[in-house]
Amino acid sequence: MNSIDQVDISGKRVLMRVDFNVPVDAGGNVTDTTRIKAHLRTIRYCMEKGAKLVLISHMGRPKGQRVDKLTLKPCAAILSGLLGKEVPFVDDCVGEKAQKAVDAMKPGDVILLENLRFHIGDEKNDPDFARQLAGLADVYIDDAFAVAHRKAASNSAITEAVKACAAGFLLKDEIDYFNRAMKDPQRPLAAIIGGAKVSDKIGVLENLVDTVNMLIIGGGMAFTFLRAMGKEIGRSICEPDMLDKAKSIMEKAGSKNVRILLPVDCVVADKAEAGASVNTCSVDSIPADWMGLDIGPATQKIFGDAVREAKTIVWNGPMGMFELEPFSKGTFGLARDVAASGALSIIGGGDTDSAVHKAGVSDKISYISTGGGAFLELLEGKTMPAVDALERCGG
């Protein structure tokens, strides 16, 4: 797979797929600019090389309809401020308006086109729509890892309609860091998996047991594993139809000499909300009418000791309901332990990203992935259709 610094973009029309699928409030204001900022390195590189940079993205799920609240126009204003240069917005991504705007560009210019998914052809990976997009480009660059696990005209079919294509720096970094962690890791390799449900991550857990040395399981999903071990878990979240899967994962881990670490104590409450009555107890003595909402201090120490042994750590999913203060200590404590471990640490998923920022240690994490679903699919051992398309591209 070529990267952007391996193709000639000087003075050329560069069509770049970015991920500007950002949250916008009722007044049309972008409330979190993280995803826009993630692309700045690739954008600035194109400007420095004198490319005519045409940015394309989706926002939300308009299903081929023009939905005013899903316009990308606010993103153009944010990007203009970040670059210190006006980024004109074009209210379509194909057709006469888009073509005229591209034709008027000068080297070093940047423009942003309207939401790709106002056209149904993008999600359908339609070759005709891809050819319309390709008509705006001499070179295609994909920098949108967060959607690399989904086939779309703007990241898959388009690679067959352009002469040259490559990965932007963000996409390349995502793949490179993941490969360092999972394909050729320094060991011990520890995976931390949290979140609410085993069913959401069963493929991930099954794949990781074949790869890691330690599998640390927290969050709501831990209670399904504890129930599978015969423990009474009160009103803690549990998926009865996942009990056999949990048992098989634990058995497989045992046969492969993979350590599975589960909570030994937890913070319990009578309800999952602020103002609840809160206590800490062993996982062997959870009150019948209470529920576990965070790992306890003994578990924090066990998990912390484990990550300090690791040379490589991948983490997806919080250890509890960290959004509420009584249940945040486990996730924040583990974040600080990961940050202090000295290991190569890679974090993926919006909740985990949020947690390490709230814990104040985001700058001490080796890499924070921009893609939740894409990161999970890589952990599951799946290939990325958009990455495969780039690798097949004639460029």
Active site residue 308: no
Q: How far is CA 214 from the centre of its chain?
A: 22
Nearest to 204 by CA among 349, 104, 78, 98: 349
**What crossing angle do the helices spanning 73-83 and 40-48 adopt, rounded to 10°?**
70
Element (H, E) at 355: helix 350-358
Spell out the residues 6+ positions from residue 360 whose beta carbon is closer than 8 angstroms to its own. none
Q: Are 85 and 110 in contact (CB under 8 A)?
A: yes
> What residue has token string 């056999």?
244
Active site residue 350: yes
Active site residue 197: yes
Q: How many CA atoms lie less than 13 Å away from 285 in the CB half-sphere?
A: 5
The residue annotated as part of the active site, out of 350, 372, 381, 395, is 350
Show the tokens assigned to 372.
Answer: 């939740």
> What residue has token string 């070529």?
2
Give phi and psi for 271, each to the nearest 5. Answer: -160, 155
The residue annotated as part of the active site, out of 197, 231, 311, 358, is 197
Spell out the residues 6+ positions from residue 177 whose beta carbon is closer than 8 angstroms to its own. 346, 366, 367, 369
Active site residue 333: no
Q: How far apart are CA 287 and CA 281, in angstroms?
A: 9
The residue annotated as part of the active site, out of 203, 373, 381, 395, is 373
Q: How many CA atoms lie less than 13 Å away from 212 in the CB half-sphere?
A: 33
The residue annotated as part of the active site, out of 12, 13, 35, 49, is 35
Q: Which amino acid is at 393?
A: C
Active site residues: 35, 197, 350, 373
